Structure 1
Amino acid sequence: MKTVLLIGANGMMGRAARTGLGRHTVITASRSGAECDHQVDLTDSASIRALFETVGQVDAVVNTVGLCEYAPFLDMTEDQWRTTVDSKMMGQINLVRIGAPFVRDAGSFTLISGILNVKPVPLAIADAVTSGAIDTFVRCVAHEMPRGIRINVVNPTVLDEAWEVYGEMMPGFQPVPGALVGKAFERAVDGFISGQVLFVDA
């Protein structure tokens, strides 16, 4: 049994991840903190540091959140880009940078990206770019992680549970059940792979 810090635990992706973490002790966190053990804002390095200092040493960190703005490229403002970059890209990079000393030897990080960086759709340029950045970050930073710490990223398609929200903007996509995405998180936490992008697609 491992101690796993799960960020975004109450979201649809967080609940999907949790289906793969049932054998572990899961400490939950979210931006609002509602119904979670802790509150954290991934766009604020001080908030990330405070979370780790409060939680202490863990075996694994799993992140399932990254706020993205959606708009046509030529209409996308710099502030909208910054919102997405600060959350989905830099938020996750800072999570690893700040959190590494709090992860035990041979522990792991599992981040989240998304299928739109390989299957683009209208309005989702910021999501696609930051997802691609996180996939690349994980592949590269795996070579620099200390003390045998592993790092992977789950790159899922749209969830069955989220189809009502995202289905209209993703015509021709086949959603997958959250439990299938949970298996990817389970593999990342309980396996031995590192530097891998775990695609979950139909």
Structure 2
Amino acid sequence: MKKVILIGAQGKMGQAALTGLQKHHVITASRSGNGTDYQVDITDKKSLKALFEKVGPFDAVVNTVGYCEYADFTDMTDEQWDATVQSKMIGQINLVKVGLEFINDGGSFTLISGILNVKPIPMAIADATTSGAIDTFVRCVAHELPRSIRINVINPTVLEEAWDVYGDMMPGFQPVPGTLVGKAFERSVDGFITGQVIFVDA
């Protein structure tokens, strides 16, 4: 049994991840802190450090959050770009940078990207760009992590459980069940792979 920190546990993707982590001791966190063990803001290094200090030694971090703004490229404001970059890209990089100080030898980080950097749709340029950046970050930083620490990223298509929210934006996409995405998180945490983009698509 591993001690796993799951960030974004209350969201649809967090619930999907949880299905693949059931044999572990899972400690939950979210931005609001409502219904979870701890509160954390991944865009704030001090908040991340406070979380890791409170939890103590751990074996894995699974992140399922990354806020994105949606608009046509010509209409995207600087503020919208900044909000997306700071959360989905810089926030996840911060998580790894700060987490390295606390994670056990041989531990793992699992980040989140998304299929839109491979299958673009209208109004999702910020999501697609930051997802692509995180995929690249994981592939490259895996070669630099010390102490046999691993890192992977889950790149899922839309969840069945979230189809009512995103379905109209994604015509022609086939949603997948959360339990299938949960298997990808399980593979990342319990396997031996590192530097991998784990695609979950129909």
Q: CA deviation at 1:44?
A: 1.1
Q: CA deviation at 1:61?
A: 0.3
Aligned partners of 1:164 and 1:34: how far apart in 2? 23
1:52 aligns with 2:46: no
Q: CA deviation at 1:53?
A: 1.1
RMSD: 0.4
Structure 1 residues 133-156: Cα deviation after superposition (integer angstroms, max 9, x where no partner) = 000000000000010000000000
Q: CA deviation at 1:45?
A: 1.2
Structure 1 residues 49-84: Cα deviation after superposition (integer angstroms, max 9, x where no partner) = 111111111000000000000000000000000000
Q: Which residue of 1 is the match for residue 156 of structure 2?
A: 156
Aligned partners of 2:35 and 2:101: how far apart in 1? 27
Q: CA deviation at 1:186?
A: 0.1
Structure 1: which 4+ aligned runs deviate by more than 2 Å? Answer: none
Q: CA deviation at 1:165?
A: 0.2
Q: SS in structure 2 opposite 1:101?
A: coil
Aligned partners of 2:144 and 2:45: how far apart in 1? 21
Aligned partners of 1:120 and 1:63: how far apart in 2? 23
Q: Which residue of 1 is the match for residue 169 of structure 2?
A: 169
Structure 1 residues 110-141: Cα deviation after superposition (integer angstroms, max 9, x where no partner) = 00000000000000000000000000000000
Q: Which residue of 2 is the match for residue 113 of structure 1?
A: 113
For structure 1, which segment, 180-189 or 41-50, has the greater mean C-alpha deviation from structure 2 after superposition?
41-50
Q: Which residue of 1 is the match for residue 124 of structure 2?
A: 124
The count of corresponding residues between Structure 1 and Structure 2 is 202
Aligned partners of 2:30 and 2:8: how far apart in 1? 5
Aligned partners of 1:140 and 1:193: how far apart in 2? 14
1:201 aligns with 2:201: yes
Aligned partners of 2:102 and 2:21: how far apart in 1? 19
Aligned partners of 2:56 and 2:87: how far apart in 1? 23
Aligned partners of 2:183 and 2:136: how far apart in 1? 22
Unaligned stretches of 5+ residues in structure 1 = none
Fraction of identical pairs, as percent: 75
For structure 1, which segment, 182-191 or 40-49, has the greater mean C-alpha deviation from structure 2 after superposition?
40-49
Amino acid at match of 2:116: L
Amino acid at match of 1:2: K
Unaligned stretches of 5+ residues in structure 2 = none
Amino acid at match of 2:52: F
Amino acid at match of 2:70: Y
Q: Which residue of 1 is the match for residue 67 of structure 2?
A: 67
For structure 1, which segment, 48-57 or 179-188, has the greater mean C-alpha deviation from structure 2 after superposition?
48-57
Q: Which residue of 2 is the match for residue 188 of structure 1?
A: 188
TM-score (norm 1): 0.99
Aligned partners of 2:71 and 2:45: how far apart in 1? 27
For structure 1, which segment, 42-51 or 107-116, has the greater mean C-alpha deviation from structure 2 after superposition?
42-51
Aligned partners of 2:27 and 2:114: how far apart in 1? 24
Alignment of 1:136-151 (within 5 A): 136-151=136-151
